[in-house]
Structure 1
Amino acid sequence: MPEFKEGLILYHGSYCEVKKPDLCKCAKRKDFGQGFYLTTSKEQAQSFLRTSIAKAVASGKIAENQNYGYISTFELKLSRQLRIHIFEKADVDWLHCIAAHRKKKLFIDVESKMEKYDVIIGKIADDATNATLTAYLAGVFGVAGDKEADDFCIKQLLPNKLKDQYCFKSEDAIECLKFVEGVKICLE
């Protein structure tokens, strides 16, 4: 079960070192909405480096030949009262939350309900599961939100041993992250 406690160590993988997260620079249509994403898995953060570098190259933020990224490490310092929502497992509520944030005007009520939280925690839909979620959103399994489509999609996702993700969505939440270090990782 995901934790949210004082001293928790979290990792962020990116094309650049991140000492002070800026929510304005965070993409909007991610799994739990716009926010700064971290994980308790250093390996998961490192596996995201290639994706981050590719996106930064495509948008012209970095040179095409950059073959390194950074793992930025943070420690949770609970200095503020935060509104937190934890998805304890990959279930229908989790699936609808991800679908609502990835595709506009789908599960509008879910997206609206999630806006009140400073931090949302749950399983990550990574590169290995992205094709399944894309197919779900495209209606390949049936209409998103129908029990049959939901059940089928979740059955496809569960064998992947999904890692966790922590989405810090507000300035109050960001203030609870203390930068520890950034480590440069060279890719082959």
Structure 2
Amino acid sequence: MKIYHGSLEMVEHPMILKPNRKLDYGQGFYTTTSEKQAKEWVERRMLENNSNCGYINVYEFDDKKLSELNSLIFPEPNEEWADFVMANRTKFDFTHNYDIVYGPVANDRVYLQFGLYEAGAISVETLIRELKTYKLVDQYLFHTDKALTALRFIESIKIEL
């Protein structure tokens, strides 16, 4: 299956990098099955960094390797997913031992709902119900070097503003 990673750089050899902010599924190499989502992410990064070009990096993902890896799969938003995302985004010392995590993206538009949940303004049931009204794209987090072996670089598509 093809998956995509948006970046300001061509990334032929993905690596596990420590982010400078808290992310949905922790540190690692993030990808999506949505080329559109990868392009939007690149364009946002380009604007934030005053860059005139970026790249959609395309990979072949050998998803048969999922059975060999310690994987956490969230087919749709649920309470376990919400708790996992909140722990990664809010707990300073939270970590996990999964090689790959797959599930919906809690993007900035959706994260407003998480803010209401975290503040106690809505219940987890309301959070899940609200999130299911959005068309959520997916993401794969490759959390370990072992997981990265399931990726094969295909190409980088240059994006210019």
TM-score, length-normalised on structure 2?
A: 0.87
Pair 1:83-2:57 in alignment: no
Alignment of 1:87-98 (within 5 A): 87-98=74-85
Structure 1: how far apart are the matches of 2:113 and 2:65? 38
Code of the aligned partner of 2:80: D
- Structure 2 vs 1, CA of residues 124 and 69 (structure 1 numbering), >3 Å: closer, same or farther? same
Q: Could you tell me which of 141, 154, 166 is aligned with 2:121? A: 141
Pair 1:22-2:15 in alignment: yes
Superposed displacement of residue 51, structure 1: 3.1
Structure 1: how far apart are the matches of 2:53 and 2:116? 31
The number of aligned residues is: 159
Superposed displacement of residue 79, structure 1: 6.3
Deviations 1:22-60 (A, max 9, x none): 2135456210111111011111111111333355x2xxx
Superposed displacement of residue 140, structure 1: 5.0
Q: Could you tell me which of 6, 9, 15 is aligned with 2:2? A: 9
Pair 1:123-2:104 in alignment: yes
Q: Which has the larger radius of gyration?
A: 1
Code of the aligned partner of 1:21: P
5+ long unaligned stretches in structure 2: none
What SS does the corresponding residue of 1:181 show, helix, strand or coil?
strand
Q: Could you tell me which of 36, 43, 47 is aligned with 1:43? A: 36
Code of the aligned partner of 2:75: E
Residue 55 of structure 2: aligned partner:
70
Code of the aligned partner of 1:141: A
5+ long unaligned stretches in structure 1: 1-7, 58-63, 143-148
Structure 2: how far apart are the matches of 1:83 and 1:162? 24
Residue 132 of structure 2: aligned partner:
158
- Structure 2 vs 1, CA of residues 22 and 67 (structure 1 numbering), >3 Å: closer, same or farther? same
Structure 2: how far apart are the matches of 1:33 and 1:27? 11
Identical counterparts, % of pairs: 32
Structure 1: how far apart are the matches of 2:129 and 2:8? 33
Superposed displacement of residue 19, structure 1: 1.2
Deviations 1:51-100 (A, max 9, x none): 33355x2xxxxxx3x12211000112356921111111101111111000
